[in-house]
Amino acid sequence: MNRIKGILYAAVSSSTFGLAPIFSVTLLMIGFSAFEVLSYRWGVASIVLTVLGLFSGCNFRLSVKDFKVVFGLSLLRAITSFSLIIAYQNIASGVASTIHFMYPLVVALAMMFFFREKKSLWTLFAVLISLLGAALLSLGELAANAMVGLVAACVSVFSYAGYIIGVRTTRAVRINSTVLTCYVMGLGTLFYLIGAFTTSGFRLVTDGYIWLIILGLALPATAISNITLVQAIKY
């Protein structure tokens, strides 16, 4: 039963996460910087989840040891989103997302070879097929900016895999899913705001249409995607 729940949570997480390129690229085309997009994305999502967590009675207190682990996980998660949006700026969002979605294979290999999970021939076959698919996507002459996009997408694969492995194999696995997600996104927001204010600045949005795009990015593509991911990992 837990396996079925995990698969369902993972399916919801991946399908809602797939909405992120639509909203992210729209904001980038309007003129938002990568740091601004991510600040709004993670900031709004963390506020909404924190409010829901408080209403549901979640305890947000963490020990020093737990906070250190969560801080490290938030860095990995922040790197993932930043590198992925850099990829969106330099290559087709579909290609970037396809490469990014190789992260389950990195997780599977790491868990098999470093954490002694049961090896599976089907998993190894899936790894080979996915590597072949990524190679075919990357064929052809690449401009300098395209190479930047491909490298950024690959960085997102390994940082996201590191985040998932960290959630599964550290003290974080015992932290409430909502609480863990709120801390990861809240700290990520802080990182992005620092990046925004030290580079191109941060604008306050007053346009209703833009807020609809931000909400689409922050709620289904971020809040729901991330909390269901954590639940999937635990199951």
* pLDDT tens-digit map of 174-210: 999 899 999 999 999 999 999 999 998 999 999 999 9
Q: Do residues 127 and 108 lie in contact, with contact meaning Cβ atoms separated by under 8 Å?
A: yes
Q: Do residues 218 and 40 lie in contact, with contact meaning Cβ atoms separated by under 8 Å?
A: yes
Q: What confidence score (pLDDT) does residue 234 get?
A: 81
Indicate the range of 9-18, 30-39, 115-124, 155-164 predicted with least confidence. 115-124
What's the CA angle centered on 218, arms 95 and 80, to 5 degrees?
45
Q: Which two tokens stand for residue 32?
A: 């938002």
Q: Which letter does DSSP use for residue 139 in this model?
A: -
Q: What confidence score (pLDDT) does residue 150 get?
A: 87
* pLDDT tens-digit map of 87-123: 999 888 878 888 888 888 888 888 888 877 777 777 7
Rounded to a whole number of angstroms, the distance between the first and last alpha carbons of the chain is 9
17-29 burial string, b = 16+ CB within 10 Å, else e? bebbbebbbbbbe
Residue of 17, 24, 53, 16 lying closest to 40 (CA atoms): 24
Q: Do residues 66 and 171 lie in contact, with contact meaning Cβ atoms separated by under 8 Å?
A: yes
* pLDDT tens-digit map of 66-75: 999 999 999 9
* pLDDT tens-digit map of 129-168: 877 776 676 565 556 678 888 899 999 999 999 999 999 8
User: Greater confidence, 131 or 25?
Assistant: 25
Contacts of 58 (CB under 8 A, 6+ apart): 176, 178, 179
Tokens 């909502």 found at: 178
Q: Where are the beta strands (DSSP E) in the chain?
A: none
Q: How far apart are CA 70 and CA 172, in angstroms?
A: 7
* pLDDT tens-digit map of 47-71: 999 999 999 899 999 999 999 999 9
Q: What confidence score (pLDDT) does residue 167 get?
A: 92
What's the CA angle centered on 232, arms 8 and 149, to 5 degrees?
100
HEC letters along 28-50:
HHHCCCHHHHHHHHHHHHHHHHH
Q: How far apart are CA 180 and CA 230, in angstroms?
A: 8
Contacts of 210 (CB under 8 A, 6+ apart): 27, 30
Tokens 């941060």 found at: 202
> Is the predicted pLDDT of residue 41 greater than 90, yes or no?
yes
Q: How many residues does the chain have?
A: 235
User: Greater confidence, 41 or 2?
Assistant: 41
